[in-house]
Amino acid sequence: MRMSAQEILFFCIDKLMKRLVTASMLVLFVSSCSDKYLSYKALYNFKSEDKTPDYSNLNYWAAHPLKWDPSDSIPKPLRKNKRDSLVDVFFLHPTIYTMQLKDSNLNADIDDPYLNAKTDYSSILYQASVFNQHARIYAPRFREAHISAYFTKDTLRSANAFAIAYRDIQSAFDYYLKNYNNGRPIIIASHSQGTTHAMQLLKDFFENKPLQKQLVAAYLVGMRIPKEFFASLEICEDPAQTGCFCGWRTFRKGFKPAYVIAEKEFSLVTNPVTWKTDNEYASRKINKGSVLFKFNKVYKRTTDAQIYEGVIWVRRPKFPWSFLYSTKNYHVGDINLYYMNIKENIRLRIANYVEKNE
């Protein structure tokens, strides 16, 4: 049976994340027990009373400044860099719930040890860590919608699943504002399903509201951003602009998946190398580095970037054995392909925000 491009992508993401979880847990737990799952079950053995997240409990934060978590990890070549924390990042992870559904419920169990481990040692380690040099990272666990919620014909059931997930995120952000923010500048960051919710979060809490003054920028990655979605929040037009949002989706040059082709209008998009919205070509020579399968390795000049009809088109990325990498949908690498450029851009926008608000 031939798999579609989307099915291949989700299959590869799941396999990759399983591999990351297994490898990372071996670092934390050396167990002679024959049950290979005991290590992460021991770490993620918390249970909520009503099956909803309690954000006063650090267990329900995948990343939080008051505990060590994978977002604190730094690739080895970068460990000498000076760190600061003038800003908070509220990070929403992508869809991790991609395995076969056990029942009719489209929402993840908030206490599922496998899903929580998978979240922490994939998205939190490989994506949220890009912010740790310049900010404190808050990433709530939430009852995310299953990947099938994006494709089911049962739109009411799908909408309900996303509503449950977003309710958790609202609750987490409310708790963060009341207990941790204390007027600090904020970056909203997300990938994939996280971006679905982050866009709504910006509308509900920031746009045309007092909190908008605290917004350094938003990195809304991996999802379509309709041109009319925001009434006043604007897409970032240059690398230093603040109070704006960035977003992109990455594909091989010449390729668009069917769901992108079916979109009625082009998405708003930012080039994650030049940080502009024009169609200027950005050579791989100015890609400052990617963090891919090996977290402690920074690969230089992996890929170029150019905006084309609402997406980012790139040539095949260059890294060891990349000639075997045949996929044309680089969704899973939206952040990692531009890891160092994002890190540098975070620093620049924060510096500009602080200068303007001093």
Confidence (pTM): 0.89
Spatial separation of the C-alpha atoms in residues 289 and 47, rounded to whole Å: 40
Confirm whether 288 is domain-assigned: no
Spatial separation of the C-alpha atoms in residues 197 and 189, rounded to whole Å: 10
Confirm whether 322 is domain-assigned: no
Confirm whether 230 is domain-assigned: yes
Token pair, residue 134, equals 């310049």
Confirm whether 336 is domain-assigned: no
The most distant pair of C-alpha atoms in the chain lies apart, rounded to whole Å, by 61
Bridge partners (DSSP) of residue 244 are 217
Spatial separation of the C-alpha atoms in residues 28 and 238, rounded to whole Å: 41
Bridge partners (DSSP) of residue 35 are none
Confirm whether 302 is domain-assigned: no
Q: Give the tens place of pLDDT for each residue, 282-309.
A: 999 999 999 998 999 999 999 999 999 9
Token pair, residue 320, equals 């060891």
Spatial separation of the C-alpha atoms in residues 256 and 311, rounded to whole Å: 9
List CB contacts of 208: < 8 A, sequence separation 6 or more.
231, 232
Spatial separation of the C-alpha atoms in residues 104 and 90, rounded to whole Å: 30
Q: Give the tens place of pLDDT for each residue, 40-68.
A: 788 899 999 999 999 999 999 999 999 99
**What 3 state SS string does the chain have?**
CCCCHHHHHHHHHHHHHHHHHHHHHHHHCCCCCCCCCHHHHHHCCCCCCCCCCCCCCHHHEEECCCCCCHHHCCCHHHCCCCCCCCEEEEEECCCCCCCCCCCCCCECCCCCHHHHHHHHHHHHHHCHHHHCCCEEEEEECCCCECHHHHCCCCHHHHHHHHHHHHHHHHHHHHHHHHHHHCCCCEEEEEECHHHHHHHHHHHHHCCCCHHHHHEEEEEEECCCCCCCCCCCCCECCCCCCCCEEECCCEEECCCCCHHHHCCCCCCCCCCCCCCCCCCCCECHHHCCCECCCCCCCCECCCCCEEEECCEEEECCCCCCCHHHCCCCECHHHCCHHHHHHHHHHHHHHHHHHHHHHC
Range of the domain at 45: 5-249+341-357
Spatial separation of the C-alpha atoms in residues 223 and 190, rounded to whole Å: 10
Confirm whether 329 is domain-assigned: no
Confirm whether 128 is domain-assigned: yes
Chain-centroid distance, C-alpha 183 = 24
The mean pLDDT values, 10 residues at a time, for the chain of 358 residues are: 38 41 33 48 91 98 97 95 90 96 91 96 97 97 97 94 98 98 98 98 98 98 97 97 98 96 96 98 97 95 97 93 85 97 98 94
Residue type present at position 55: Y
List CB contacts of 270: < 8 A, sequence separation 6 or more.
235, 236, 246, 247, 248, 276, 277
Confidence (pLDDT) at 30 = 28
Confidence (pLDDT) at 38 = 57
Number of structural domains the chain divides into = 1
Q: What is the CATH number for 104?
A: 3.40.50
Confirm whether 167 is domain-assigned: yes
